Chains A and B, each alone.
Chain A
Amino acid sequence: GEDVEQSLFLSVREGDSSVINCTYTDSSSTYLYWYKQEPGAGLQLLTYIFSNMDMKQDQRLTVLLNKKDKHLSLRIADTQTGDSAIYFCADYSGNTPLVFGKGTRLSVIA
């Protein structure tokens, strides 16, 4: 089946940029998503990118997509302690439901 891989942990200092990476295997992906999950809560959609785009910016968030390498990244500028959470990459091809990665736990050090 299709697979989405992420590194499990990332630690950054407050004010620095965070970059969370994701790779996927589905060559027919149409949308790729980033979800945020805070402790004890559901998943919150942060942003998504359509597969024919290579970059999307939304305030402090920048998504980069390299479709050739099937690599997606989420950059958070000026990372704050409130950004500490688990970030899930997810892939949608239209034929199957969302495929999630295992999530990257972002820790922000004050």
Chain B
Amino acid sequence: DAMVIQNPRYQVTQFGKPVTLSCSQTLNHNVMYWYQQKSSQAPKLLFHYYDKDFNNEADTPDNFQSRRPNTSFCFLDIRSPGLGDAAMYLCATSTRGAGDNEQFFGPGTRLTVL
């Protein structure tokens, strides 16, 4: 089945230790998104790629970076995680231009910062 895959599902890192979360998709969608979701809050968009074009949300901290080496993969790098970065990180994909912007979400990676 076509899907959005996130690895790992659970990630534990230490304060200040860089961490990378990964997302892959078999849907061949041209848009990929990274969201941060804290407990009892709405998902917050960090950035998205339209093909190779990177779009950063204005309030995304510089501590967060992203890479998309090809259509299928997208990475979220947190350079120096703080305690406030502990959250669920959701990857999503869509086909922009379809009009309805339906987004397909992965299961998420729960990040714990010690």
- Chain A residues proximal to chain B, CB less than 8 Å: 4, 8, 30-31, 33, 35, 40-45, 48, 50, 88, 92, 94, 97-98, 100-103
Contact = CB atoms under 8 A, between A and B. Distances in A.
B37 to A, nearest CB: 9
B42 A101 contact: yes
Given A31-B100, A97-B33, A44 B105 contact: yes
Chain B facing A: main interface SS? loop
Contacts of B6: 42
Given A31-B100, A48-B100, A97-B33, A42 B105 contact: yes
Contact of B101 (A4, A8, A31, A42): A31
Contacts, number: 53
Given A88-B42, A100-B42, A101-B42, A40 B110 contact: yes
The number of chain B residues touching the other chain, given as a range, is 20 to 34
Given A43-B105, A97-B48, 4 more contacts: A42-B108, A43-B103, A48-B100, A98-B103
Nearest to B101: A92
Contacts of B40: 8, 102-103
A43 B43 contact: yes
Contact of A45 (B99, B104, B108): B104
